[in-house]
Amino acid sequence: MASFALALGTATKNKDGKIIEAFFPTPTLNPSDSLIVALADVVKYEEGNQFFNVEASQCDAISAAFSEADHQLAASFAAKAATSNQPLVLVILANDEKPASVAEGFLKLQLISQRLAKPHTIVLDGIFGLLHNIAWTNQGPIDLPELAERQIEARLAGETLTVDCVDKFPKMVDYVVPAGVRIADTARVRLGAHVGEGTTVMHEGFINFNAGTEGVSMVEGRISAGVMVGNGSDIGGGASIMGTLSGGGQLVISIGENSLLGANAGLGFPLGNRCTIESGLYVTAGTKVSMLDAGGAEVETVKARDLAGKSDLLFRRNSLTGKIECLTNKSAVELNAELHANN
């Protein structure tokens, strides 16, 4: 009974009893057969990808199952959940397939943000259409059709209901804060982002879901959905990377290790290791690039997509001719080790 993932968590339901979000503090990837069998006996699980509304009376048995499988954090959470008034949900995913429920979708997003899975390694097809806009407030998530009534109730009680944002995806840090990161404005990192240890996200930096960094990186620009940035790379202030939800289409755009995307620059094709795109230069896959030899003479003209994944390249715009040129990059980015220790 091999399975892909499972998790016990709390859920928020709207007035119709439908789950609008779910929090899974201790998700498990590739759980053991014995754990699946034990949990199946509690919730009457048989096969496939399913979620179950859990009763408080079932929590002790679930806690025992996790404990027997040596998942002590999950066991502790299940034991504490027995006294909670919040709706509880157990998700069991036999296969890594397109999520079919909100609970499944939120589990998969948290697998990425918990660093249990990297972007592009699990199936998230259709998740944007599966989730719907929610008001994320200081009183928790609220289904939009219920927001006006909740605002009135709060005012009549002498309180203010603060709406932080209206979005399908919440802030990552409301669900998990990965070790060794620094995020100046937490609203700019969505749940489902993979933030590598040692990464610093400055105030104007942004990381979308199913995207992120491998390790130590400086993020002052935008990492769009689907984009992965290698260890030691720097995304300069105001810089932009095309994502799979925008102009990038289905092309997976990435940046290799120790590369620099200069301030206000842009990227629309996969960049290799130790590459630099100068400030203010936007290079898309179809951009025509003049290749220069060691002496600065033009050798040929190619499209940027032909250079995808190649390392040690410097892209610049000739200030006299306006041509975009590419030559050997003589120096790689070196990020300040103390700045990114993030202890």
Do the annotations mark residue 286 as ligand-binding?
Answer: yes
Catalytic positions are 220
**Which pLDDT value is given to residue 245?**
56
Average pLDDT, consecutive stretches of 10 residues, N- to C-terminus, the chain (343 residues): 89 97 97 96 95 96 96 96 95 97 98 96 94 96 97 97 96 97 97 98 96 97 94 96 64 91 96 96 95 90 94 95 90 60 68
Could you please state the CATH topology (level 3) that the domain comprising 135-167 is classified under. Answer: Wheat Germ Agglutinin (Isolectin 2); domain 1 (3.30.60)
Distance CA 228, CA 238 (A): 17
CATH node for 172-328: 2.160.10.10
Do the annotations mark residue 319 as ligand-binding?
Answer: yes
Tokens describing residue 293: 């030899």
**Closest listed residue to residue 129, CA positions, set 95, 168, 164:** 168
Q: Where in the chain is the domain with CATH 2.160.10.10?
A: 172-328
**Which pLDDT value is given to residue 295?**
85
**Closest listed residue to residue 16, CA positions, set 143, 167, 169, 148:** 143
Do the annotations mark residue 303 as ligand-binding?
Answer: yes
Question: Residue length, the chain?
Answer: 343
Do the annotations mark residue 168 as ligand-binding?
Answer: no
Count, in order, helices (H) and strands (E) of the chain. 6, 27
Answer whether CATH 3.30.70.2010 is correct for domain 5-131: yes
For residue 306, give the DSSP letter. G
**Closest listed residue to residue 118, CA positions, set 214, 252, 234, 190:** 214
Q: Where in the chain is the domain with CATH 3.30.70.2010?
A: 5-131
For the stretch 79-122, pLDDT in tens is 999 999 999 999 999 999 999 999 999 999 999 999 999 999 99
Do the annotations mark residue 318 as ligand-binding?
Answer: yes
For residue 112, give the DSSP letter. H
**Which pLDDT value is given to residue 3?**
86
Do the annotations mark residue 325 as ligand-binding?
Answer: no
